[in-house]
Amino acid sequence: MIIAALNESGKIGRVLDKFPKDGRFEAIVVDDGSTDDTGDQARAHGAAVVLRHEQNRGVGAAIRTGFHCAQGRGRPYLALLAGDDQHVPSDLVGALDFALGRDLDYVQGSRWMRGGHVVGPSGGRAMGTRFYSLVFSMLVFRRITDATNGFRVFRTKILDDPSIDIDQDWLDRYELEPYLLYRTIRSHYRVVEYPVTVVYHAKGYTKMRGLRDWWRLFRPALLLRFGVKR
């Protein structure tokens, strides 16, 4: 399990304390240039590996570092989970069992499909994530109910596909996750959504700021759809 974390002191410990007691999972935390004690808390709360970027490089770059670490450790499946306590780590067990039972390549978490849940006040975020998912679905020619959800489980071998290049510089921030979902679907891997819970906290729930970061989510599908990027 990869957790990209930036200044998540007080949250990363809660995430790791909820980590499933299942030997199939290990927590790899990538501290993306935090100025607090995120890395120390991750170690204290049982992360198997804690990696650090000395300077903030972006969530995509942090996820990429975690992916490469997990590949080097021979993990057959990779999982992503938010470091800010938005996800329920126990959902990982069901998602992995779902992937194994159906021989799936990629499981995308969804709060909006039947069986998914939202805890706490969603406000305008619900409309934003639903609208984004609609646009993403139109561009990828496949209905995805929750394309912004950072919860996912997938086969590591996907990253060896030459048509999927996560090491491109333009994927350093919020672009990497929608890029990977888009490319996985368009490369005809077996991709299925799975119901998960997302917890909205009263404050500090996201590092996204304004239209610039929303554009970073939108542009991968747009650029890939029209052949501007690969």
Domain that holds residue 139: 2-225
Instruction: For residue 230, tell me if it sits in a domain.
Output: no
Instruction: For residue 99, tell me if it sits in a domain.
Output: yes
Report the distance separating Cα 200 and Cα 8, nearest Å. Answer: 15
Of residues 54, 4, 9, 5, the one with CA closest to residue 36: 9
- Domain of 220: which CATH number? 3.90.550.10
Domain count, the chain: 1
Whole-model pTM? 0.94
Pairing of strands 106-110, 2-5: unpaired
For the chain, 230 residues long, the average pLDDT of each consecutive 10-residue run is 96 95 95 97 97 97 98 97 94 98 98 96 85 97 97 98 97 97 98 96 61 90 95
**Helix axes 210-225 and 124-140, enclosed angle (nearest 10):** 10
Contact (CB, 8 A) for 4 and 32: yes
